[in-house]
Amino acid sequence: MKRTIFLRVVAMMLSVVLAFGALGVTSLASESVKTGSLKGESGTAATLEEMQSLLTTSSYEAYLLSHKDSINGDSRKEISLSVTDFNGDAIKVSDSKEVAASIAKSPGNWSELSEEDKAMSVFLPAVSSDGKAASVTWNFDIEVGASGFYTIEIEYFDCIIDAESYVDGENTVPILTKSSVSAIERKLSLRGVIPFDEVSSISFDKHWIYDYKTVSEPYEVPAEKRPFTSVGSVTEYEHIADGDNKGYYKYVTKTYPENGKLMQTVTTYKITQDINGNSMAPSAKAISTWTKHMVTDSSGYSDGALKFYLAEGSQWITLEAIKEPMIVKSIKIVPADAPNYKTDAHGNTYIDEQSSARSYADYLNYIRTEFNDDAKAANGVGTVIEAEFPDYISDSSVAATNDNTSAINSPVSSKAQLYNVIGENSYSAMGQWAAYTFTVDETGFYKLGARFRQDTLQGMFICRTLKLSGGIYGETAEVPFDEAYRIRFGYSNEWQSEYMGYYYDELDDNGNVVTDEDGNPVQSKKEIELFFEEGDEYTLYLECSLGDLKEKIKTVEESLNIINNCYLRILQRTGAEPDKNQDYSFMKYMPEVLVSLLEQAKTLTTVADELEALCGTNGSHIATLDTIARILTTMGADGGEKIAENMSNLKSYLGTLGTWINDSKTSSMMLDSVTIVPSDSDEDDIPYANANFFESIWFEISSFIYSFFTDYDKMGLTEEAQAEEGAVQVWLAMGRDQSQIWRSMIDAKGGFTDTYGKGVSLKLVTGGTLLPSILSGKGPDVYLGLGSSEVINYAIRNAIVGVSGNAGNLTEEQNAVFNNYWYRDANGNEIKSETKLSNEEMTSRGLRLVSSAFEEASRSEIFADAAMKTLTLSDTTYGLPMTMSFAMMFYRMDVLGELGLEVPETWDELLGSLPMLQSNNMTIGVSYVSALDFMIYQMGESMWRYEGDEYDSRWAGSAINLDSNVSLEAFDFVCSLYTEHSLPVSFDTANRFRTGEMPITIGDYISIYNSLVVFASEIGGVWEFSSLPGSIYEDEETGKEIYNYDSLAGVSATVLLNGCQDDIDTLLAAWQFMQWQTSREVQASYGNSIVALIGPAAKYETANKLAINDLSWTAKEKAAISDQMAHMDAIVNYPGSYIIARYMKFAFLDVYNDGLPANEAMMSYIDAINSELTRKRDEFSEYLYSQTTWEEMGLNAPPKLESKGE
Amino acid sequence: MSEEIVKKTDKNRPLQRDEMSKLQWTWKEMKRNKTAYFMLFPFLILFIVFTVLPVLLSMFLSLTDFNMLEMPNWKGVDNYTRLFLDDDIFMLAVQNTLIFACVTGPVSYILSLLVAWFVNELPPKIRAVVTLVFYAPSISGQVYLIWKTLFSSDSYGWANATLMDLGIITSPILWFEDAAYVMPLCIIVALWTSLGTAFLSFIAGFQTVDRSMYEAAAVDGIKNRWQELWYITLPTMRPQMMFGAVLAITNSFGFGAVVDALCGFPSVDYAAHTIMHHLSDYGGSRYEVGYASAIAVVLFIMMFASNILVKKALSKVGE
C-alpha cells in the first residue's frame, strides 16, 4: 500500500516535471546518454535501473493482497532443494581445502559434524572474485497442482572466517572479507525479482557467548556432604570485593547420579573487576552453530515466517550477499496456510495475519492432556536468574551493565559500579535477544517474574517475545504459543517487579468485546504459566519485538511516508521559503494533497487514541502524534490557506515523526532478574520492586561519601603493576569506552603484552593535556590520535621522534631501531637483522618477527601514500596513521530514481543534474571548505608550489600554488557553485538529506554515515555513498585526458614523544606498540569492538586500508570506501600551513558576500600567505636546512625564500 | 604632661615617626599589625603566584622567542618592533579592540547604571524578579549561542527566513561570515550579556545610600531627581562604581570568547579580530608564545591606562 501511493506520487512528480519544462527534460535526456562509466570496474555507485527498481518493489502486505485470489494447490509438499547444485559465487566446502580448514577453525561445533553433513555444505562468500556482492542461485520446480503459499527454511552455519583467499579449482580466489561483528545479511529474490521490500535484507543471527564461563571436571560429591545433596541443580551468586579472586560470580552446581555415584559439575561465570572494584565488560565471542531459520521479517512488523506465492513451473531462488560469509546446508520450501484474508465494512480486503503458532489456551490443553497429573502448579521453590549473566546473546552488543539507581538492585555496591542489569540501550533493537539456561526441581507449571525498569517510552509499554528451547519445547527456539510474541513491560519511572503476561480484550457474557466510552476495547492482563519438567535443561529467550504496538507503528510509518510526499509536492510548488501572502491555489493544483493531509491527520489521531486506550494513559510520547495531527488539520483546511505559514513547522514535525517511530521501535529496558516460581505463587514470591525509604537514603549517602575516595585515574586498570615504571607509557584522549577496549585488547590473550612480553600503562587524558605535559617533561612515550598538523607542529619543535630511521636528531643506534627487523627468540631475546628473514629461516632458528623496518611497516598496501605524506617533513616521517577521514558523496536513490538522474561521476554531470533538482526545489550539499581544497588536486595540481624541475624537499612548502592558472580556475569553479549555481553555503546535512531536499550531499564519510544511521533510520536502504565526482583535464605533456576524483585525507596518527628515545629498550617497545596498534588485526578488532559496544553508529575510520575489509561494512560500502581510498591525496603540512585555510576562506567569502571576481579575491591574499610561510621557514631554518645542507648549497647561512627568487 | 616629657628624654623610648626612615616605619607598622598580615598571607601567596608572577613572567617571555616546547632564546625588543612596525593585523586588532571597548565599555556601564537605577525604584518583590531577568543572560554561560540560531547562515535561520519571507533578501546572508555584519552583531551580543556583576553591584550600591541624606538634600534645595542622582546617590556609591568600571574595562578589552563562538576563529577578514584573538592566534595556533606575551603586555598596559583614566573621571562625579 505504501508503495502504491509512492508510485502514484512518482507518476505525478514526473508529470509535474514535464509540465514545468519539457525543454529542460529533453536537453537533460540527451545529456544523460552515457557512453560508459568513467570509473569503470572500480565504480560502485548504483545505476539508474537499480535506483528505479527500488521504487517498484512492494510491501509484504501489498504482495499478499495481490495474491488474494490465489488458492493453495492440492498436491503441495515440502521441497528440499539440492543445495550443492548451485549457480553463482559459492563453493562446496569439500571442494576447497582452504575453506574447509578455515571453517574448521571457526569456534563451534563444525568438527563434530559427520562427513556427510560436511559434504552437503556450501560456502557463500560475501564478495565474489570480481569484488562485487556475491550471489548464488538454486533452481527448483513447482509441480502441476502444487502452486500456492510456501515458507522458506534455511539451515545455516554462522562460520567465522579469517582466511583471505580460497582455492577454486586452479585459481586462488580472494574471499576478501573476513568475518566481522555484524549479523549475516542477504537479499532474497525469486525468479530474479525481489518479491517484496521485507526480503531485500533478511538477517541471519550469529550466536554469541561471553567468554566468562568455565565448566569444572565432574567430581564425586564428598561423603560428608552427600546426605544434604540431592539430584538437580543449584544456582548461587557471589560477589568477592577484594583479594585474588575478586569478581562477581555465578555458580551452577549440577548434581547427577552416574554409575551409582553421586557426581557434580560446577559451571562458573565470572565478571572481573578493576582496581576500583568496578565490573569490567566480558568480551563476547561468536560461537558458530547450525541453525534452522525460517525467512522472517527483520523489521519486526510481522510475526512468524514470511509467505511466498509460488506458481507452477520452474522457479529459482537467489541469495545475494549484503554482509558476511555463511554456510548453507539445506533450503526447504515448506507449504503454508493461505493468508487470512478478510473484508472490512467498506468492502476492502485486508489481511488479519496470525502467526502459525497455537493459542495459549491450546497450549494449556495440550499440556493437560499430555501430562495429566503433572499438569498442576509445581511443588517447590523458585529460582532467580540474574539477568546480567546471559548464556547466549544475539549480537555482541547485547551487554550487561551497571545501574545504581536502586538500592536493591542485585548486586549493588555504593563503592563501585557492579554489573547488575542487562540493557538498556544495548538491548533494544528489534530482534536482539538474550538467552538464559535453567532447570527446575519439580515438574509442573511455573510463572516468570521480572524485575525491570522501563522509563524511556513515556506512557507506553514495550514488548518482548518469549521463546523457549529444551525439553518439550524442542531444539530450536520457538514461541510456545502465539501470545508469547507480545509479553508487555509497562512504563514507570521506578523499578517494577511483576509476573510476565500478555493483555487480551475483555469479553462480556455474550462473547462481545467490552469497550470503554470511546469505543476502544478494555484490556486485562493474563499472567502466563509455563510447564517445565525436572531433569530437562531449558533455554529462555527474551527477544525485542514490537508486539501489540506493531500495527500502530506501522500505520504511523506509512503515514510519515505519505506526509513526506505531500511535503515534497508542496515544496515543488512553493519553494523552501513560501510567501505567506501569495495565493498558491493548492485547491486548484493539488487537491489530492489537501485531502491526504486531512486523511493523515485523522489516521494519526486514531492511532493516538488507540495507543491511549492500550496504554491506559496519555504520556508525552503519544501526545506528539496529536500535535502533528493538529498541524496537518490546519494545513489541509480552508483550501490550504495556512500551508505557506506552516511549511517550516511541517518540516520540523516530519523530523519529529521520524524520531517518534525510531523511539517507538527502540524497545529498551533494564532487566535486573527473571524469577521462575511455581504458578501458585503470589506477589511476595518475587523480588521487591523498590527499596524502602531507609535503604534508599543510606545507599545515596554512602555512595556520595565513597565518591570522594574513588581514584578515577585508575578506571579500568586491573593491576597496580600496569601503572608502574618500565612499561610503555601510552596516552589517549578518547572516551572511557574506547580506552577500556584498548586496555582489554592490550591485556587479552594474543594481545600486545602477551605477544611482546612488554607492559603497557594506558592513561586516559583530556584533549589539551599533551602540550603542557611535554613542556613539563612528564609526557608519555606514545600518544594515540594526534592530528597530522599537530604532528608536524610538534615535530619541527623537536617534541616528536621521527620513525623513518633517518631523523637528524637521533643517534645511529636510535635510528637503527626503525631501520632493522627485530626478531624474538625462544628465550625472549630480541635480535636485530637488516634484512627480512624468510619464513623457513625464522622457523629453523626459532625466531618470531616482533618489529619491522619502517619501509615495511608503512608500505602503501597498508597506508595510503597521502596519509603518510601528511606526517612527513623533509623526508622524515613522524608517526603512523591511525585514522583517516575524507569526503565522499552520499545520494538518495529513491529521489534520483524518481527524477531519472544518474549518480554523477563528474562535476559537469553534477551541474547537469542541478537544473532538474532545482526545478523541484531540491539542491546539492557541498561544504565549500573541503571543496576548495580537493578541487585543486582533482584538477591535477597541488596546494604547494614546488620550485625547480625536480622535487627538492628543502624547498617544498616555501610558496603557495594558489596563484597558478589551474588553482585559480579551481577556485573560480568552487565559487561559481555557490554564486552562479546557488548551492547553499550553510546547511544541516542530516536533516535536509532525510527530507529528500538535498538528495546528493558531499562530506566526511564517517560522520555523515554515523549520523544518518541513528538520526534517519527511516530512510535506511534508500541511500548509499560512493566516491566523489571527478574532474577531467588534459595532461600537458601527453595531451591525454585524465579523470581524477581524488579526495583529501584528514589524518590522525600514533606518535612517539620526545624522551622515549633516551632508553633504547623503551624506544623499541614503543615502536613495537605503534606497529601493533596500527596493524590490520588490531585496527579491525578495535573497530569491531567499538561498534559492538556502542552500536552501528560508532563506525571507526581506520587509516589501515587492509582493515577496512574486516570491519562491519556491507560488501558494497567496502568497495566504495576502498575505491576512494585508492584515490586519495593530501595537503602536506609545512611550517605555516595553518594560514592557507584561513585566507582561502576569506577569499571565498569576499567572492560570495561582496561579489568580488574570484581571481582578484584570491590574488589579494597570495602575498600575505607567502610572507607568513617565509617567516615560519626563517624561524625553522635550522631544522629545515642542517648546516651541512646549506653549506652544500654554497650558502653562508640558512637560506631565506628571497634568495631563491620568485 | 609630665609623663610625656619623661618619655622624650628617655633613651629607651620608641622612636617617633619623624625620627625613623620609611623602611623602619613600615617594618614597625607591620609588626604592630602582624595579625592582619598573617590573615592576609594565604591570599597574598595565591595572588603573587597566580597573578603577579605570571604577569612578570610574560613580561620576561615577551623578550624571547619561547615556543612552548623548547628553551627560549633572548630576542630583546624584536617582538615589540615587529608588533608595532611589521604586523598589520595587530594594528587592525588594536583598532577593533578600541572600537569594541569604546562602544561596549561606556554603553554597557551606563546601561547597567540606568537599569539599576530604574530597577531600584521598583517594589522589592518585583525588583527581585526584574533583576533576575536582566542578569540572566550573563549567568547562563553560553546562552549567547541563541544568537547563532537567530542569525544562522542557513536559509532556515530565523533572521534569514524572516527577511526572505518579507521579500527583503533573496538568498541567505552569512551573518557571522560577512565582514559587514560581524562587528555590529558582536557588539549587540556583548551588550546583551553585559548586565552582569557590575549591574548587581550597582543595585547593591543604590540600596546602601542613607535615606536621611535625601531628606537633608531636599532641605538644602535639590531641585530634581537628576540632581539627587548626581550629587547624592552617585558620590555615595563611588566604590561600587569603581568596581563596575574595572569590570567593564576588563570585559570590553578581553572580549573574545563570544566572537569565537559566533564567528569562528579567525573572524572573516579579521573583521572582529581583537587583541585577545591576536594573542591566542600566536600563542595557540602558531606556538609563538614569546610574541604572544608581547601582545599580552601591550594589552595589559592598555587596560592599566584606561583604568587610571576611569578613576580620574569617576573622581569628578558629583562635582
CATH number at residue A101: 2.60.120.260
Ranges A518-532, A633-647, A993-1007: which has the least confidence? A633-647
DSSP letter (8 states) at residue A568: H
Chain A contact for B153 (CB, 8 A cutoff): yes
Grid cell digits, residue A1122: 576502498
Residue A1124 binned pLDDT confidence (cut-offs 50, 70, 90): very high
d(CA A1166, CA A1168): 5
CB-based contact, A1142 to chain B, within 8 Å: yes
Chain A residue with the nearest C-alpha to that of B161: A577
Interface contact B180-A771, CB threshold 8 A: no
Residues of chain A with C-beta less than 8 angstroms from the C-beta of B287: 793, 797
Instruction: Copy the grid coordinates of residue A1025.
Output: 555513498
The answer, for B286 touching chain A at a CB cutoff of 8 Å, is: yes
- β-strand pairing of A782-787 with A728-732: parallel
**Alpha-carbon span A885 to A870, nearest angstrom:** 13
d(CA A773, CA A776): 5
Confidence of residue A230 (pLDDT cuts 50, 70, 90): confident
Closest Cα partner for A325 from A536, A189, A160? Answer: A160
**Which DSSP letter does residue B50 get?**
I
Q: CA A422, A428, A431, A432: dihedral to nearest 10 degrees?
A: -30
Of A579, A580, A1146, nearest to B268 by CB-CB distance is A1146
Chain B nearest-CA residue for A1138: B285
**pLDDT above 90 coverage of chain A, percent:** 24
What is the pTM assigned to this prediction?
0.78
What is residue A774's predicted lDDT score, i.e. its pLDDT?
83
Confidence band for A24, pLDDT divided at 50, 70 and 90: very low
Closest CA to A863 of A1054, A1002, A1029, A1005: A1054
DSSP string, B206-273: HHHS-HHHHHHHHHHT--SHHHIIIIIIHHHTHHHHHHHHHHHHHHHHS--HHHHHHH-SSPGGGTT-
The Cβ of residue A127 has, within 10 Å, a number of other Cβ atoms equal to 23
Residues with Cβ within 8 Å of A846's Cβ and at least 6 positions away in sequence, in order, are A825, A826
Same domain, A678 and A618: no
Using a CB-CB cut-off of 8 Å, the residues of chain A touching B285 are: 1138
Question: Do the chains contact at B177 and A774, CB–CB below 8 Å?
Answer: no
Q: Give the residue from A1021, A1047, A1073 where a domain finishes.
A: A1047
Residue A339 per-residue DSSP state: P
As a whole number of angstroms, the distance between CA A1138 and CA A887 comes to: 20
Q: Please name the residues between 971 and 1000 in chain A that touch chain B, using a CB distance below 8 Å.
A: 982, 984-988
Checking if the pLDDT of A699 tops 80, the result is: yes
Which pLDDT value is given to residue A294?
Answer: 86
In the block, cell 572474485 appears at A129
Nearest to A648 among B156, B171, B285 (CB): B156
The single-letter DSSP state of residue B281 is: I
| DSSP-derived secondary structure for A320-332 | EEEE--EEEEEEE
DSSP state of B48: I
Determine, yes or no, domain membership for A566: yes
CB contact under 8 A, B165 and A577: yes
The answer to whether the Cβ–Cβ distance between B154 and A794 falls below 8 Å is: no
Instruction: Tell me the C-alpha distance between A1016 and A1000, whole Å.
Output: 15
Q: Do residue A642 and residue A690 come from a single domain? A: no
Could you tell me which residue, A591 or A17, shows the higher pLDDT? A591
CA B183 – CA B102 distance, rounded (Å): 13
Would you say residue A576 lies in a domain? yes
Q: What is the pLDDT of residue A6?
A: 55
| Residues A205 and A218 placed together within one structural domain of the fold | no
Please answer whether residues A247 and A416 qualify as being in contact, where contact means their C-beta atoms are separated by less than 8 angstroms: no
Task: Work out the average pLDDT over A377-392.
Answer: 87
Residue in B closest to A1057 by C-alpha = B69
Of A797, A1142, A1179, the CB nearest to B266: A1142
* Inter-chain CB proximity A1138 and B285 less than 8 Å: yes
Give residues with Cβ within 8 angstroms of A254, minimum separation 6.
A232, A233, A264, A265, A266, A267, A439
Contact B154 A986 (CB under 8 A): yes
Specify the range with the lowest mean pLDDT, choosing from A140-144, A964-968, A1015-1019, A1197-1201.
A1197-1201
Would you tell me which residues 1177-1196 of chain A have a C-beta closer than 8 angstroms to some C-beta of chain B?
1179
Whether residue A193 is found in the same domain as residue A244: no
Q: Compute the CA torsion angle A686, A689, A692, A697 (nearest 10 deg).
A: 130
CATH number, residue A1059:
3.40.190.10
- The CA R_g of chain B, rounded to the nearest whole Å, is 26
Which SS3 state, helix, strand or coil, does residue B100 take?
A: helix
pLDDT reading at A1011 higher than 50 = yes
Interatomic CA distance for residues A295 and A152, integer angstroms = 6
Residue A20: per-residue pLDDT: 44
- Among A627, A648, A665, the domain boundary falls at A665
Closest listed residue to residue A446, CA positions, set A533, A526, A370, A365: A533
For chain A, give the percent of residues with pLDDT over 70. 90
Closest CA to A522 of A613, A441, A459: A613
Reference B162, options B178, B177, B151, B146; nearest CA is: B151
Secondary structure element (H or E) that encloses residue A367, with its range? helix A360-371
Question: Residue B4: is its pLDDT beyond 60?
Answer: no
Across the interface, do B177 and A580 touch by the CB < 8 Å criterion? no
pLDDT of A31 reads: 37
Q: Is there a domain that residue A51 lies in?
A: no
- Calpha distance A274→A416 (Å, rounded): 10
Pairing, β A887-892 against β A1050-1056: unpaired
**Is the same domain home to A377 and A524?**
yes
Number of H helices, E strands in chain B: 18, 0
pLDDT for B140 beyond 50: yes
The residue in chain A having the minimum alpha-carbon distance to the alpha carbon of residue B181 is: A1153
Domain B87-315: CATH superfamily, name plus number: MetI-like (1.10.3720.10)
User: CA of B103, closest CA in chain A: separation in Å?
Assistant: 26
Pair (A191, A317) in one structural domain = yes
Residues in chain B: 319
For B163, name the nearest residue in chain A, comparing CA atoms only: A577
Q: Per the domain annotation, does A1133 fall within a domain?
A: no
Picking from A576, A1145, A1176, the nearest residue to B155 by CB comes out as A576
Domain co-membership, A740 together with A827: yes
pLDDT of the residue at A1203:
37
256-285 in B: which are within 8 Å (CB) of A?
266, 268-269, 285
Give B211's pLDDT tier (boundaries 50, 70, 90): confident
Whether A279 is in a domain gets the answer: no
Distance CA A547, CA A462 (A): 8
Q: Say how many C-beta atoms besides its own lie within 10 A of residue A1163's C-beta.
A: 15
- Residue A157 pLDDT grade (very low, low, confident, very high; cuts 50, 70, 90): confident
Give the total number of structural domains in chain A.
Answer: 6
CA distance A889 to chain B (A): 21
Closest CA relative to residue A590, chosen from A995, A7, A9: A9
Is there a single domain that holds both residue A1042 and residue A1055?
no
Smallest CA–CA distance from B265 into chain A, residue:
A1142
Among B276, B260, B277, B272, residue whose Cα is nearest residue B142: B260
Does A1145 reach chain B within 8 Å, measured CB to CB?
yes
The answer to whether residue A987 is domain-embedded is: yes
Asked, for residue A720, whether it belongs to a domain, the answer is yes
Ranges of beta strands (E only) in A216-362 are: 219-220, 232-240, 247-258, 261-271, 284-286, 290-294, 308-310, 313-323, 326-335, 341-343, 349-351
At residue A1198, the pLDDT reads 56
Of B70, B167, B269, which has the smallest distance from its Cβ to A797's Cβ?
Answer: B70
Please state the length of chain A.
Answer: 1206
Q: Is the peptide bond before A411 cis (omega within 30 degrees of 0)?
A: yes
Q: Please give the angle made by the CA atoms of B169, B171 and B176, to the nearest 5 degrees.
A: 95
Lowest mean pLDDT among A158-172, A980-994, B170-184, B250-264: A158-172
Backbone angles phi, psi at A1148, to 5 degrees: -60, -45
Nearest Cα to A1024, choosing from A1117, A915, A895? A1117
**Which tops the pLDDT comparison, A790 or A749?**
A790
Distance of alpha carbon B61 from the chain centroid? 24
Residues A906 and A974 in one domain: yes
pLDDT in tens, A619-677: 778 888 888 898 888 888 887 788 887 877 787 788 788 888 888 888 889 999 999 99
Residue A625 domain boundaries = 552-665
Give the CA-trace dihedral at A871, A875, A878, A880, to 10 degrees: 60
Chain centroid to CA A507: how far? 45
Residue A590: DSSP 8-state: -
Comparing B157 with A1203, which gets the higher pLDDT?
B157
**Which of A4-13, A429-438, A457-466 is the least confident region?**
A4-13
Contacts of B266 in chain A (CB under 8 A): 1142
A871 and A745 in a single domain? The answer is yes
Q: Which of A1012, A1032, A1047 marks a domain boundary?
A: A1047
Query: Which cell goes with A257?
Result: 547420579
Q: What is the DSSP string of A1173-1194?
A: HHHHHHHTHHHHS-HHHHHHTT
Residues 6+ apart with CB under 8 A from A380: A440, A441, A442, A444, A678
Which residues does B77 contact at the CB level (< 8 Å), separation at least 6? B63
Residues of A in contact with B154 (CB under 8 A): 984, 986-988
What is the average pLDDT value for chain A, to the nearest integer? 83
- H-helix or E-strand spanning residue A1043: strand A1041-1044
> Please, which residues bridge with residue A392 across strands?
A435
Residue A1198 lies in a domain: no
Regarding an ipTM greater than 0.85, the answer is no
Averaged pLDDT, A273-301 = 81
Chain B CB within 8 Å of residue A1167 CB:
no
**B246 within 8 A of B307, measured Cβ to Cβ:** yes
Would an 8 Å CB–CB cutoff place A1153 in contact with chain B?
yes
Do B178 and A984 lie within an 8 Å CB cutoff? no
Q: Which residue from A641, A559, A637 is spatially nearest to A605, judged by alpha carbons?
A: A559
pLDDT band for position A166 (cuts 50, 70, 90) = low
β-pairing, A1128-1129 vs A1047-1048, is parallel
A383 with A429, same domain: the answer is yes
How far, in Å, CA of A708 to CA of A1117, rounded?
48
Q: What per-residue confidence (pLDDT) applies to A636? A: 84
Same domain, residue pair A312 and A166: yes
CA–CA distance from B161 to each of A855, A925, B155, B169 (Å)?
56, 19, 6, 9
